[in-house]
A and B are shown apart, each in its own frame.
Chain A
């Protein structure tokens, strides 16, 4: 599976949009981009995933560039409860595919 690169940390103000970047320049055609987050001392929480089209759900939006080499997770109105480590992971399909976690990006939402 392709590796991803994320900045180590970022912060944003409560109520503002949080835009979390991810670089996955070696992604291959059948690999999906997944985003999870982990709030302190809890298991990771699934947020969203996509292949090449932009995706939106009740939690976030995922914007994938046309060349698929990078993506951005957007939390439209960040709250203090969104403070967490966010992981961008590239994963293929099939029974043997698995999620490999990097260091993620620590998002701090300030009041």
Chain B
């Protein structure tokens, strides 16, 4: 299957700082990227959807000014958690689909574990 990478794999930061997470599609052009969040023992929850070159569409209850998403190219999307607080500690997972062998299938990255102290 297609490969999606995320960086960093884990990050620890102080409360009030901002953290940027990168998501890259390595072998296909991602026309649409998705960002999910997963708390311990819970399922994945979709945060936002972004199409290349357009503003992201956020799910209900997700603060767009806190979780900044940029999808500037067909292979890169970034999620910035601004002014992070301990309650933002979670497992953040990106997903992508797009031009290539199977345009309808979403492929997921390995996830980024964020711990805010």
Contacts and interface: CB of A to CB of B under 8 A. Distances in A.
A28 interface: no
Nearest to A99: B106
Contact of B111 (A43, A96, A98, A99): A43
Nearest to A93: B104
Interface string A36-72: 1010011111100100000000000000000000000
A98 B49 contact: yes
Given A46-B108, A93-B104, A103 B49 contact: no
Contacts of A103: 43
Contacts, number: 51
Nearest to B113: A41
B30 interface: no
A44 B93 contact: yes
Contacts of A46: 1, 105-108
Given A98-B46, A101-B43, A102-B43, A43 B93 contact: yes
B65 to A, nearest CB: 22
Interface string B1-43: 1001010000000000000000000000000101010000001
Main SS of the interface on chain A?
A: loop
A44 B43 contact: no
A101 B44 contact: yes
Nearest to B110: A43
Given A42-B111, A43-B110, A96-B49, 10 more contacts: A34-B105, A36-B108, A38-B44, A42-B110, A43-B95, A43-B109, A44-B95, A46-B1, A46-B106, A46-B108
21 contacts: A34-B105, A36-B108, A41-B111, A43-B6, A43-B95, A43-B108, A43-B109, A43-B111, A46-B106, A46-B108, A87-B43, A95-B32, A95-B51, A98-B34, A99-B34, A101-B36, A101-B43, A101-B44, A101-B46, A102-B43, A103-B43
Interface of B: 1, 4, 6, 32, 34, 36, 43-46, 49, 51, 91, 93, 95, 104-111, 113
Interface of A: 32, 34, 36, 38, 41-46, 49, 87, 93, 95-96, 98-104
